[in-house]
Amino acid sequence: MPVAASAVYFLNLRGDVLINRLYRDDVGGNMVDAFRMHIMQTKELGTCPVRQIGGCSFFYMRISNVYIVIVVSTNANVACAFKFVVEAVALFKSYFGGSFDEDAIRNNFVLIYELLDEIMDFGYPQNLSPEILKLYITQEGVRSPFSSKAQLQQPLDKPVPNATLQVTGAVGWRREGLIYKKNEVFLDIVESVNLLMSSKGSVLRCDVTGKVLMKCFLSGMPDLKLGLNDKIGLEKESQLKSRPTKSGKTIELDDVTFHQCVNLTRFNSEKTVSFVPPDGEFELMKYRITEGVNLPFRVLPTIKELGRTRMEVNVKVKSVFGAKMFALGVVIKVPVPKQTAKASFQVTSGRAKYNPSIDSLVWNFTIS
């Protein structure tokens, strides 16, 4: 079932209520006092994001210096609740110029109340797409002086949109009539390598999580296609065996999540990502790879205890990629005991320093 939230609270780090919205009458208005007394004052904020106090459940998440708390009195969908919080924060950032903190909330009380009335009805989440909500909530938020506008260019004209058709139409994430003087598409692929290695240097677990970020400034209603050299693993094994072997490198993606604009039917049949993109910046897809991962580095640490108060750490980093590639901004953090008072270094390249705030030795260098 959906969230069925009874109330939503925005609190600062002291527990003061910045703004709140009651959607149902099945909880009292003093529920935030129970959250402050049983969770914030007992310093148990980091143990579990879901707590039950009395007959109510509290789902909370910290964004910057603000706690967003959802109170429910029934058996609600926890994943849907946190997804609602993440999408709501992205919506607020689109109105506030990319910032979401206590100051942004205090400067945009009226706008936040108007958005809360639109994105949730009687405790059930509604449309949270910034592209659609900006069609009929045209009020601009008070931007932080440190925020920067995300768009590189603006449409040549701003026609009066049909909000009703936009919400109920087949392409609800993009409005019609967009015209740009220069059509541009930017695509970025961001990947993170997660590695677990034993003390002897053998790899225990390794996977790569990546996401495809796009920024589109196109006129009209374009239909884009993105080809991937992968096998995805969505076909049956018999079909894979009957298919002739293709030349070139293939990548097996284990978990793939697409934006709502992607045509899944065409992807299953043609193995191409076909979509009508939203206007501006969005995340097209996320994926995970667990097999065939080529590690860019090998880290060989050696730790020796020279006494009760001294230790020696020798860290060797070896690059395993080709000679034509290079790595910039490589950072290695070596954790040390919390009682460390002084550290000395000998590095072959780059520079190193002891950071007592994170109890680690930080080594910065470049491999070319």
Pair 133, 90: CB distance under 8 Å = no
Model pLDDT for residues 300-324, shown as the tens digit of each residue? 888 888 888 888 888 888 888 887 8
| Spatial distance between the Cα atoms of 86 and 76, rounded to a whole number of angstroms | 17
The DSSP string of 3-53 is ---SEEEEEETT--EEEEEE--SSS-TTHHHHHIIIIITTT-TTT-SEEEE
**What's the whole-number mean pLDDT along residues 278-291?**
86
pLDDT range class, residue 169, cuts 50, 70, 90:
low
- Count of beta carbons in the 10 Å neighbourhood of residue 164: 10
The reported pLDDT for the residue numbered 148 is: 47
DSSP secondary structure letter of residue 238: H
Task: Give the integer Cα–Cα distance in Å for 357 and 367.
Answer: 27
Sheet containing 360-367: which strands, arranged edge to edge?
327-335, 360-367, 351-355
Q: Give the integer Cα–Cα distance in Å for 8 and 21.
A: 5
The residue written with tokens 């400067």 in the block is 107
Contact 254, 292 (CB under 8 A): no
How far, in Å, CA of 352 to CA of 50, rounded?
40
Angle at 351 between CA 350 and CA 357, to 5 degrees: 140
Which tops the pLDDT comparison, 64 or 41? 64
Task: Identify which of 86, 68, 75 has the alpha carbon closest to the alpha carbon of residue 7.
Answer: 68
In one letter, which amino acid is 78?
V
pLDDT per position as a tens digit, 208-254: 898 999 999 988 888 888 887 655 544 444 444 555 444 445 567 77
Q: What does DSSP assign to residue 110?
A: H
pLDDT band at 32 (very low <50, low <70, confident <90, very high): confident
Most confident of 37-51, 81-95, 225-239: 81-95
Cα–Cα distances in angstroms (integers) from residue 287 to residues 55, 273, 361, in the given order? 39, 13, 32
Residue 150: the pLDDT is: 43
Query: Could you read off the pLDDT of 355-367 as tens digits, one per residue?
Result: 888 888 888 887 7
Residue 186 banded pLDDT, cuts 50, 70, 90? very high
Please state at what angle helix 109-119 crosses helix 78-96, rounded to 10 degrees.
Answer: 140
pLDDT at 1 over 80: no
